[in-house]
Chains A and B, each alone.
Chain A
Amino acid sequence: MFHWLEKHPFFFAVGVFLVISFAGLIEILPNFAQASRPVIGTTPYSTLELAGRHVYIKNSCNACHSQLVRPFKSETDRYGHYSLSGEYAYDRPFLWGSKRTGPDLWRVGNYRTTDWHENHMKDPAGVVPGSIMPAYRWMFTNNADIDTAFAEQLTVAQFFSVPYNKPVPMKDGSTTVVKMGSSVAEANALALAEAKLIAADMKDQDVKDAVANGQIPEIVALIAYLNSLK
C-alpha cells in the first residue's frame, strides 16, 4: 500500500490529510458548545474596558502575564479562586498566556487599585523593588481607540449574541445591564463617563485634564479593564 501511495501523490496527500485531521475533530468538536456558556455573574466588557483590553493586547501584556489560575493551593492562595471555563465566555481572544514572567492577572481587580496601577505603569520598579517590568509611560499620552472597541461590541452582539443592553444574571440573584451605545457618539459618551470615574482616583494632572477635555488616554482604559478582572 505504501509503495503504491508513494507513486500516487494525490492519494498520498489525501491519506496524510485524513490522518492529520482526525485528532482535531475528536478533541475539539465535542465540547464546543458547552465550553462557551457563561457562568452566572460573568458580564460582557463595557466599551471602555474593551478599549483597555485592546491596549493590553496592543502591548502584548499577555507575553509576560497569564490570566489563568490553576487549581492548586499555591495559586488560589496567591491569586484567588481557580478559573472556571464559563468565566471566559466573553473573552475573544482568550488571554491565558503561556509564560508568567510577571504574576497572573485574572483576578487582579480584587487586590490592586487604580492608584496602584497608575504608579506601577509609570515606574514598576518604584512600586515593586526589583521588578524587571518596563515602564509604559506612552499610555499616559496616547489616546485609547474607543471607536474600534465599539465596533467590536457591535460585532460580538450581532454575530455571537453577546448580551449588551440586556439583563445579565448576577450571583446574588439580581440582574445587571451592560450598556452599549446606539451610535459612535453615544458609545464615546458612555466611555467618557466611565473614564471620569477612573480619572477621579488618579493623580496624574495631564491625564485628569485630558479626561476633563473629553479625551481618554490609554492608561485610563487599561485601568478600567484591569479593575474589571475579578
Chain B
Amino acid sequence: MENRPLEYDYTVAKMFMLTTIILGIVGMLIGVILAFQLAFPEVNLILGEGLAEYTNFSRLRPLHTDAVIFGFTFSGIFSTWYYVGQRVLKVSMAESGFLMFIGKLHFWLYLVGVAAVVVSLFMGITTSKEYAEFEWPIDIAIVVVWVLFGLSIFGLIGIRREKSLYISIWYYIATFLGIAMLYLFNNMEIPTMLAQSAAGESGIGAWYHSVSMYAGTNDALVQWWYGHNAVAFGFTVPIVAMIYYFLPKESGQAIYSYKLSLLSFWGLMFVYLWAGGHHLLYSTVPDWMQTMGSIFSVILILPSWGSAINMLLTMKGEWQQVAASPLIKFMVLGSTFYMFSTLEGPIQAIKSVNAIAHFTDWIVGHVHDGVLGWVGFMIMAALFHMAPRVFKREIYSKSLMATQFWIQTLGVVLYFTSMWIAGITQGMMWRAHDEFGNLAYSFIDTVTVLHPYYTIRGVGGLLYLVGFLMFAYNIYKTMSARPVEESELQNASPMGA
C-alpha cells in the first residue's frame, strides 16, 4: 500500500465537468442570441409574439450573465477543485466517506439551485442587482451550496498528507472566503411577507419578494463592491488557481518564481477589494471613494501582471511547446489575454477615460476579452488536461482542438475590437456639441451608428460558440471512446522542481 501511487477518485469532478459544458453551451448560446437582438431587433421575437415576454433581450440578459458566471465558470471551478485538490494535497476522496458525501451533495444541491435560478429569471423574479439577481429563497440555497464547497475544501485539507499548501490551494481558499463575504453582505434583504398592515394582515403579496437593506447610493456602493470583486473571486482568483496547477503539469516545467507567486497572491488579495469604486466614477458616491477606486485599479496591474508574467516565464526555454501543443496554446494565450485585460481595466478606471467609456460597449468588450480569452480558455484547457486522466482515454482529436483554438481566437478578436470601436464611437458622440454649444447628436443617432459593430460582435460570439461546441464534441468523443490507458500518466508534480 505504502509505495503504490494514490488512486484519486474523480466522481464529483466528472459531474461538474458535465455541468461546465452544458451550462457553458446554454450561457454562450443565450449570449449569441442577445448579440443578434441588438443588431437585428426582430430576433427578440425568435419564438414568436406569444413567447416574446420570455425571449426578449431584457429577460434573457441576466440569464446570460448568470449562466456564464454561476453556471459555466463556477462549475469549472468546482470541477477543477475536485481534481486538483486531491492531487496537490496527496489524498484521495475515496479515503473519506464523509467528504465523498459532501462532494455529491454539493453537486446535487448546486443543480437544484441552477434549476431554480433558470425558472425564476425567466419569470422575471429578480432583485435587479447584477450577478445577485436571485431572491432570498435562492440566496439561502446558494449559501448552503457554498458552505458545502467550503467543507469540502477544508475537509480535504484536514486529512492531507502533503503538509505544505501548494499555490493553487491558496487561491481556492481565497475564492471560498471572498465570495462568502461579498455574497452575504450584498444580499442583505428583508422578505416583504414579514410586514404587517395596520389592519393586521400579514404575508401580503408574493412570498419570495424582498427589499434591499441598503438604499440608493449605499446600495450602489455595496453592489459594486460586490460586483467588481465577484469578478475578482470568480473570474480571476480561481482561474489563477487553475493555471498554477495545469500549466506546470502540462508543460512539465516548474513554476518560474515562488517569490513572484507570493507577491502576486497577497498583493491581489489586498488591492482588489479597493477597486470596486471605479464602477461609480462621477456618480453620487463621495469623491474620495471614486479616487481610491481609480488609484487602486491602476495599482492592481502589479499583482495581476505578477501572476501572468510568472506563467509566461514558466514556459522559458520551452516555447516550442506552444507551437506543438494546442493545450499549451490555450493556456499561454489565456495568460496573455489576462495581461491584456488587466491593463485595459485600469485604463478604463482612470477618471477622464471613464467619462467616455462608462455606460458604453467598451465595458462590455473589456468583460468579454477577459471572460472569453482568459476564463473560457483556461477552463477549457483545464478540462482538456483532466479528460484523459479522469476518463483514462486519450483526447479524441488533437487537430479538432487546434481548429477550435483558432476559431475561438478569431471570435474573441472580432468581439473586442468591434466593442472598442462601438464604445468609443458612442462615448464621443454622446458628448459632442456643435458650434453653437448644442448637443450634436440625438440619442438614436448614437444607436443606429453601432449596427455594423453589433453585427460583427454577433459573428465573433457565434464563432466562439462554434468553438465551444467543438470542445464539447471532443470531450464527449473522449468520454465515450474505448479506454486505452491502463493507468494515468505520471507527470512531475508542479512542486517537484
Partner of B173, one of A3, A12, A135, A145: A12
A189 within 8 A of B: no
Q: How many A-B residue pairs have CB under 8 A?
A: 274
Size of interface on B: residues with Cβ below 8 Å to A: 96
Is A12's CB under 8 angstroms from B170's CB?
Answer: yes
User: CB-CB < 8 A to B181: which residues of A?
Assistant: 17, 20-21, 24
A110 within 8 A of B: no
B94 within 8 A of A: no
Is A133's CB under 8 angstroms from B41's CB?
Answer: yes
Residue from the set A88, A137, A158 with the largest chain B CB neighbour count within 10 Å: A88
Size of interface on A: residues with Cβ below 8 Å to B: 91
Residue from the set B194, B282, B360 with the largest chain A CB neighbour count within 10 Å: B282
A80 within 8 A of B: no
Is B439's CB under 8 angstroms from A152's CB?
Answer: no
Query: Contacts A94-B219, A134-B41 given: A182-B177 contact, CB under 8 Å?
Result: no
CB distance from A173 to the nearest CB of B (A): 24
Is A134's CB under 8 angstroms from B37's CB?
Answer: yes
B190 within 8 A of A: yes
Interface residues of A in 127-153 (CB under 8 A from B): 128-138, 145, 147-152
Partner of B277, one of A27, A62, A86: A27
Is A12's CB under 8 angstroms from B165's CB?
Answer: yes
Is A147's CB under 8 angstroms from B225's CB?
Answer: no
User: CB-CB < 8 A to A101: which residues of B?
Assistant: 38, 447
B137 within 8 A of A: no
A57 within 8 A of B: yes
Minimum CB distance partner of A54 in chain B: B209
Interface residues of A in 79-120 (CB under 8 A from B): 83-103
User: CB-CB < 8 A to A99: which residues of B?
Assistant: 359-361, 363-364
Interface stretch of the complex, out of B2-10, B56-64, B304-312, B322-330? B56-64
Is B52's CB under 8 angstroms from A183's CB?
Answer: no
How far does the alpha carbon of A88 sit from the alpha carbon of B212 in the complex, in Å? 13
B480 within 8 A of A: no
Interface stretch of the complex, out of B198-206, B339-347, B385-393, B408-416? B198-206
Which A residues lie at the B interface, using CB under 8 A? 2-3, 6-7, 9, 12-13, 16-17, 19-24, 27-28, 31-32, 35-36, 57-64, 66, 68, 70-75, 77-78, 83-103, 125, 128-138, 145, 147-152, 154-156, 158-160, 181-184, 186-187
Which B residues lie at the A interface, using CB under 8 A? 37-38, 41, 44-45, 49, 52-53, 56-59, 61-62, 124-130, 154, 157, 163-165, 170, 173-174, 177-178, 181, 185, 190, 192-199, 201, 204-206, 209, 211-212, 214-223, 225, 262, 266, 269-270, 272-274, 276-277, 279, 282-286, 289, 292-293, 296, 355, 358-361, 363-364, 430-433, 438-439, 443-444, 447-448
List 19 interface pairs A-B (beta carbons < 8 Å), by A numbering: A6-B165, A7-B164, A16-B174, A16-B177, A20-B177, A27-B293, A85-B216, A96-B220, A125-B41, A130-B444, A130-B447, A132-B37, A132-B447, A134-B37, A134-B44, A134-B45, A134-B52, A151-B209, A155-B194
